[in-house]
């Protein structure tokens, strides 16, 4: 197919953002976004106190000097990578914003394969093999970034895999950054066991959370980090603060106030989060049914506001439409679905693989009234604006399935 906007194909400037809520912020959060003062680098006392309370409620007690806040997770990961030095290992695929931080600093990034059942956490044996190969070639791997609740795969890694992987990483002297942006967005929290690396190996894990995952609108950038309670954690936190200071990476005062309010988890916030998760989970499940019915390979989404589809089984039908790689797939689906559909290459996957991440936010409506109707409806999938979007998704992929079936029937045997 003809690419109409070649300037939009850069891997960094045109990379996809976090899947958004697609919902107006709750009134209390908006009211909390006040202040004209200058927040200190690393976050003010109110925000850091709220962050410590947030982690304590999740089984991670945190001392007052173990936290840092920054205007978004990319700034924090950049500072962490600079502070640790060396090369970085990531699962393949991984969140689109992880690798640019390391490459900006001149560090090498080495992808590691994930097991069949989930994304976000490398296979432990593949991790060991990669570390030893990199060192044999003169590299210096020091940092492993992973996510138990994952973007882009929308899976939740089982605790036994997480334990094996972080034990392997620790045995090789790696520091682990656990991106837990999506841990509060489990679709079935009563039936899903999520145990983070810091709960298993607290001395070697820094926890990172972008608050745009559970709480804040995309335009209000804020993120928090929790460091190990040991000398390594103290040194790492100090270095991270130095990097953030050199970048003048401060959270805007109104955003910091809103973040502190949200991290305190008043009833308004917890109710909104629970309702939002239910809504996005129902849409993700419907999208999953449509994609798998068409023959795509998609792991059932378990967290977040997205799902990740492998359209390899539909390659012949897509090829007849001029779609032969992930960039062409992104171009094709973004037009056909009238929504962003970033290809797997944005997440470190092979360009030649026909993989795509789809977000659930665009299915909720195009106006605040439609989105709020989706949120409060007991049957959101039956609302006209949601049904239209899901119908378009189903027909787009149904056409590909039908074309593929017809092609196979016409092929000489």
Q: Looking at residues 137-150, what average pLDDT do you find?
A: 98
Question: Which range, of 13-17, 24-28, 226-230, averages the lowest pLDDT?
Answer: 13-17
Query: What confidence category does residue 7 fall into, taking pLDDT thresholds of 50, 70 and 90?
Result: low
Q: What pLDDT is attached to residue 145?
A: 98
CB 244 within 8 A of CB 70: yes
- pLDDT at position 253 is 96
Q: pLDDT category, 15, cuts 50, 70, 90? A: confident
Q: What is the torsional sign of CA 18, 293, 187, 376? A: positive
- DSSP result, 284-320: HHHHHHHHHHTT-EEPPP-BSSEEEEE-GGGHHHHHH
Q: What is the pLDDT of residue 37?
A: 87
Cβ partners under 8 Å of residue 209, min gap 6: 73, 179, 180, 181, 183, 223, 224, 225
Residue 89 has pLDDT above 80, yes or no: yes
Predicted confidence (pLDDT) per residue in 356-386, tens digit: 999 999 999 999 999 999 999 999 999 999 9
Helical ranges in 188-301 per DSSP H: 197-200, 231-247, 253-263, 267-293
Lowest mean pLDDT among 121-135, 318-332, 397-411: 397-411
pLDDT at 409: 58
Q: Give the β-pairing of 306-310 and 297-298.
A: antiparallel
- 413 burial (CB, 10 Å; 0-12 / 13-18 / 19+) is exposed
Give pLDDT, residue 401: 82
pLDDT recorded at residue 402: 66
Across the range 383-398, mean pLDDT stands at 96
Mean pLDDT for the chain? 94
Query: At 17, is the pLDDT very low, low, confident or very high (cuts 50, 70, 90)?
Result: confident
**pLDDT band for position 406 (50/70/90)?**
low
Q: Give exposure, 153-189, as e/b (b: 16+ Cβ within 10 Å).
A: bbbbbbeebbbbbbebbbebebbbbbbbbbbbbbbee
- State pLDDT tens for residues 49-72: 999 999 999 999 998 899 999 999
Q: In which band, very low, low, confident or very high, does the pLDDT at 410 lie, cut at 50, 70 and 90? A: low
Alpha-carbon distance 249 to 42, whole Å?
Answer: 8
pLDDT digits (tens, 9 = 90+) for 239-279: 999 999 999 999 999 999 999 999 999 999 999 999 999 99
Q: Which token pair is 3?
A: 């690419």
As a dihedral over the C-alpha atoms of residue 382, residue 388, residue 394, residue 397, rounded to 10 degrees, the angle is -160
Residue 5 has pLDDT above 90, yes or no: no
pLDDT in tens, 107-126: 999 999 999 999 999 999 99
Structure tokens, 275: 């309702």
**Cβ atoms 183, 196 nearer than 8 A:** yes
Model pLDDT, residue 9: 61
Instruction: Give me 288's structure tokens.
Output: 């999953």
What pLDDT sits at residue 403? 66
Model pLDDT, residue 38: 86
Of 222-231, 310-319, 368-377, 397-406, the range with the lowest mean pLDDT is 397-406
């Amino acid at each position: 197919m003809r690419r109409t906007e070649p300037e939009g194909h850069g891997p960094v400037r045109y990379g996809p953002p976090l899947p958004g809520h697609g919902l107006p912020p709750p009134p209390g959060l908006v009211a909390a976004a006040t202040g004209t003062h200058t927040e200190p680098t690393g976050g003010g006392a109110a925000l850091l106190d709220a962050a410590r309370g947030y982690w304590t409620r999740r089984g991670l007690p945190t001392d007052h000097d173990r936290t840092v806040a920054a205007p978004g997770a990319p700034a924090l990961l950049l500072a962490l990578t600079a502070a640790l030095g060396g090369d970085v290992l990531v699962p393949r695929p991984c969140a689109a914003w992880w690798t640019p931080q390391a490459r900006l600093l001149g560090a090498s990034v080495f992808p590691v394969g994930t097991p069949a059942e989930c994304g976000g956490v490398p296979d432990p044996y593949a991790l060991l093999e990669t570390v030893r190969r990199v060192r044999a070639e003169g590299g210096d791997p020091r940092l492993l970034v992973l996510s138990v609740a994952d973007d882009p795969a929308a899976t939740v890694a089982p605790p036994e895999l997480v334990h094996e992987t972080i034990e392997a990483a620790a045995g090789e002297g790696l520091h682990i950054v656990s991106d837990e942006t999506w841990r509060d967005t489990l679709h079935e929290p009563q039936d899903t066991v999520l145990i983070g690396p810091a709960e298993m190996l607290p001395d070697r894990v820094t926890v990172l959370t972008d608050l745009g995952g559970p709480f804040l609108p995309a335009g209000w950038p804020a993120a928090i980090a929790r460091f190990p309670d040991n000398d390594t954690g103290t040194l790492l936190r100090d270095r991270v603060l130095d990097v953030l200071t050199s970048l003048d990476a401060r959270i805007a005062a109104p955003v910091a106030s809103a973040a502190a309010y949200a991290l305190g988890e008043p009833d308004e916030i917890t109710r909104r989060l629970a309702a939002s998760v239910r809504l996005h989970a129902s849409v993700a499940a419907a999208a999953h049914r449509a994609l798998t019915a068409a023959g795509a390979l998609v792991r059932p989404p378990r967290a977040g506001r997205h799902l990740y589809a492998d359209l390899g089984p539909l390659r012949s039908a897509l090829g007849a439409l001029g779609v032969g790689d992930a960039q062409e797939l992104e171009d094709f689906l973004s037009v056909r679905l009238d929504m962003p559909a970033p290809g797997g290459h944005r997440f470190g996957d092979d360009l030649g693989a026909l993989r795509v991440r789809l977000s659930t936010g665009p299915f909720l409506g195009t106006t605040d009234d439609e989105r709020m109707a989706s949120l409060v409806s007991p049957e959101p999938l039956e609302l006209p604006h949601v049904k239209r979007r899901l119908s378009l998704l189903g027909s787009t992929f149904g056409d590909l399935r039908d074309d593929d079936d017809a092609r196979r029937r016409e092929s000489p045997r």
